[in-house]
Amino acid sequence: MPSTVFHQISVLPGVWASPGLLDRLRPLSRRQPLVLDAWPHDDSDTGRSFARTDAVLAGWKDTLDADRLGRLPDLRYIGLRATSTGRVDLDYAGRHGITVAPIEGYGDAGTVEFVTEQLLRHARHGGEARGELAGRRLGIVGYGRVGRAVGRVAQALGMDVAFHTPTARTAAAGEPRWSPLPELLASADLLTFHSPAYRHAVRPDQLRLIPDGTFVVITTLGLPMDAAALRSWQSARGGRVVLDLCAADGLPGDLRDLPGLEIHDLYAARTADSVRRAEAQVLANLAAALTPHPAGCQCCLSGAETALTTSRQKGI
């Protein structure tokens, strides 16, 4: 960035900015940061002010497609308070020299703790008799940072752990083993999904491989299966499925009353600690974008390369 401050930083609704974050944004912007509760109309006073923004902060629910980005001719920076870039048009950003900066790992601990809590609760209270997780088989669909962390905790609790990714992997001694998806689904006593955001990781015919009593935890951004497939599958079984609000985002209303479907009124990744971590990373990314770098420096990538690289690393 040629300047030591941005002209205008605009904060989209999905950031859920704390007062502390807003206070720390003010020295980084010539104008008062513009905090939006909705995408403004172009012909409103807010819309005209927004059109001059050169830096946008967005959350995982905020859509930044080519149409919206095209309304911001001065935009040079998109800071994501999210790990997923799935709702940003990275091709447009790359063509127009817009840096896209996601954050990493801020909600991993909270998600792992939520999944572990649900597994333990099911073992202790999910049947006629109190049981244990030790000796039960856990299947993990998606094996990024969170999936691996869940696997480590499960192994420490004595579980038999297998995972699936589209590409087969060779596990080191003592680590969870890779399994083909049909085998994983058919053999698990408990399942947890950590596949990429807004991607259907299982087909309807594969869902039917899951045993009737298998307990399922889903914390992905958006469902990892088609909503209609979830309706058909869950209507015909007796097992329980637990979703947090990330997984339930956009869920049709009639699915919320499905027998055995339990939606927790929280985001697994969102805790007081994760909010602090997320906002610290957002601010660090903003500061890095304003720091001059020598020609040819490889410490940061321009345009959408950073987001594209990050997205690929986070895939299953």
Encode pLDDT of 244-274 as tens digits: 999 999 898 889 889 999 999 999 999 999 9
The three-state secondary structure class of 302 is: coil
Give the domain range for residue 308.
Answer: 9-106+272-314
Residues 177-213: pLDDT tens digits? 999 999 999 999 999 999 999 899 999 999 999 999 9
Residue 13 CB burial class (10 angstroms; 0-12, 13-18, ≥19): middle
In a domain, 3, yes or no: no
Q: Kindly tell me if the per-residue pLDDT of 128 is higher than 90.
A: no
Which positions ≥6 away from 2 have C-beta within 8 Å? none
In a domain, 1, yes or no: no
- Asked if residue 28 and residue 154 are part of one domain, the reply reads no
User: CA nearest 29: which of 48, 2, 7?
Assistant: 7
- Asked if residue 293 and residue 251 are part of one domain, the reply reads no
The angle that helices 108-125 and 272-289 make with each other, rounded to 10 degrees, is 160
List for the chain the helix, strand, coil content (%; round to 5). 35, 15, 50
pTM listed for this prediction: 0.87
Residue 307 CB burial class (10 angstroms; 0-12, 13-18, ≥19): buried
- Asked if residue 277 and residue 196 are part of one domain, the reply reads no
- Asked if residue 255 and residue 127 are part of one domain, the reply reads yes
Q: Kindly tell me if the per-residue pLDDT of 132 is higher than 60.
A: yes
User: CA nearest 28: which of 12, 10, 49, 45?
Assistant: 10
Distance, CA of 39 to CA of 34 (rounded, Å): 12
- Asked if residue 164 and residue 95 are part of one domain, the reply reads no
In a domain, 55, yes or no: yes
Average pLDDT of the residues in 144-156? 97
- Asked if residue 208 and residue 173 are part of one domain, the reply reads yes
Mean pLDDT, rounded, of the chain: 90
> What's the structural domain count of the chain?
2
